[in-house]
């Protein structure tokens, strides 16, 4: 079974977007759990590509192909990942902050929230503070999720939280992304931090129970 996990991870790292679905289907048919594939093949592939990107072993176009392959895999697995809670749990607007083009992690969190019963509005990448405010108002969001993957865009996260607070919107603010921490979340006045999809689901539920 672990062969499938390795094989799928390799296809993502090599950007084989035309083969990924067939291989995932084969793995699922053989009994590999969809969440196992997400965590140990798809996410793991991106984790291994990070250092290779930093050392120049792979370049942006190759990383983009891997990202595209991961998205194809995620889309295929999406309907299979459902924790059984189908009652509407609340409305979430989620996006990646201004200047930041990373969308995989945010999409994964959106997918987990959706499959846990939240109504999710994924507004995309490179979203200005005003874009978030507009979306919160448009969808009457209960929670807004902000994602940042670059240390340089953490400042945009701070500015987004500040604008949402300035406008006095009745919405809980959850933040996440690799360089973000619980401490940073507190420092910028967010209501909570989560490190991955499952903990984002728990956090959103907790924030709405308050
Ligand atoms: Co970029 N990139 N990248 N990149 N990239 C990182 C983040 C980096 C760590 C790689 C490295 O150098 N080791 C580094 C950041 C360094 C830093 O600032 N600390 C980096 C850099 C430097 C850059 C560029 C500047 C490179 C360049 O052009 N020279 C450039 C910046 C572009 C920009 O944004 N303006 C850039 C570009 C790109 C690509 C476009 C090529 C591509 C993104 C494609 C896409 O998203 N469609 C890309 C990728 C793929 C990566 C890595 C390899 C993988 C990111 C990823 O998808 N991870 C990444 C290295 C790494 O993280 N290992 C890297 C998998 C994903 C599931 O995890 O996104 O962490 P993650 O999401 C997690 C959690 O963080 C959390 O839950 C998710 C699920 O578990 N989470 C949330 C995320 N958002 C949340 C929101 C929440 C809650 C939880 O709200 C409530």
Q: Which domains does the chain have, with CATH numbers?
A: 2-80 (1.10.1240.10), 91-209 (3.40.50.280)
Neighbouring-strand partners of residue 98 = none
Phi first, then psi, for residue 170 (nearest 5°) are: -85, 75
CA of residue 179 to ligand 1 center, whole Å: 9
CA of residue 133 to ligand 1 center, whole Å: 24
Which residue from 202, 101, 89 is spatially nearest to 149, judged by alpha carbons? 101
Q: Check residue 53 and give its pLDDT.
A: 81
Residues 160-176 pLDDT 10s? 999 999 999 999 999 99
| Tokens of residue 197, six digits | 């999809």
Average pLDDT over residues 187-209: 94
Q: Check residue 82 and give its pLDDT.
A: 63
pLDDT confidence band for 187 (50 / 70 / 90): very high
Q: Check residue 84 and give its pLDDT.
A: 52
Q: Is the CB of 172 under 6 A from ligand 1?
A: no
CA of residue 210 to ligand 1 center, whole Å: 31
Strand pairing class (192-193; 172-176) = parallel
Residues 4-56 pLDDT 10s? 999 999 999 999 999 999 999 999 999 999 989 998 999 889 888 878 888 99
Centre a 10 Å sphere on the Cβ of residue 39 and count the other Cβ atoms it contains: 16
Q: Is the CB of 209 under 6 A from ligand 1?
A: no
Q: Check residue 85 and give its pLDDT.
A: 43
Sheet architecture: strand order including 143-147: 118-127, 90-97, 143-147, 172-176, 192-193
Residues 74-124 pLDDT 10s? 889 988 886 554 456 899 999 999 999 999 999 989 988 887 779 999 999
N-terminal to C-terminal alpha carbon distance within the chain = 42
Residues 122-134 pLDDT 10s? 999 999 999 999 9
Q: Check residue 50 and give its pLDDT.
A: 78
| Tokens of residue 5, six digits | 């996990």
Q: Is the CB of 116 under 6 A from ligand 1?
A: no
Distance CA 159, CA 153 (A): 10
Q: Is the CB of 102 under 6 A from ligand 1?
A: yes
Q: Model-level pTM?
A: 0.87
CA of residue 154 to ligand 1 center, whole Å: 13
Of all protein residues, whose CA lies closest to atom 43 belonging to ligand 1? Answer: 102
């Amino acid at each position: 079974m672990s062969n499938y996990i390795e094989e799928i991870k390799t296809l993502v790292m090599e950007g084989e977007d035309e083969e990924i679905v067939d291989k995932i289907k084969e793995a699922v048919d053989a009994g590999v759990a969809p969440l196992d594939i997400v965590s140990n093949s798809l996410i793991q592939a991106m984790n291994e590509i990070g250092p290779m990107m930093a050392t120049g072993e792979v370049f942006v176009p190759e990383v983009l192909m891997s990202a595209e392959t991961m998205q194809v895999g995620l889309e295929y697995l999406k309907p299979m990942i459902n924790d059984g809670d189908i009652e509407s749990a609340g409305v979430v607007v989620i996006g990646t902050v201004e200047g930041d083009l990373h969308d995989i992690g945010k999409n994964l969190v959106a997918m987990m929230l959706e499959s846990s019963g939240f109504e999710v509005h994924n507004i995309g990448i490179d979203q200005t503070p005003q874009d978030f405010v507009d979306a919160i108002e448009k969808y009457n969001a209960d929670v807004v999720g902000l994602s940042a993957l670059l240390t340089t865009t953490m400042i945009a996260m701070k500015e987004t939280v500040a604008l949402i607070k300035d406008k006095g919107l009745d919405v809980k603010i959850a933040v996440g992304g690799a360089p973000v921490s619980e401490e940073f979340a507190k420092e910028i006045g967010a209501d909570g931090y989560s490190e991955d999809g499952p903990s984002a689901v728990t956090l959103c539920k907790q924030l709405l129970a308050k």
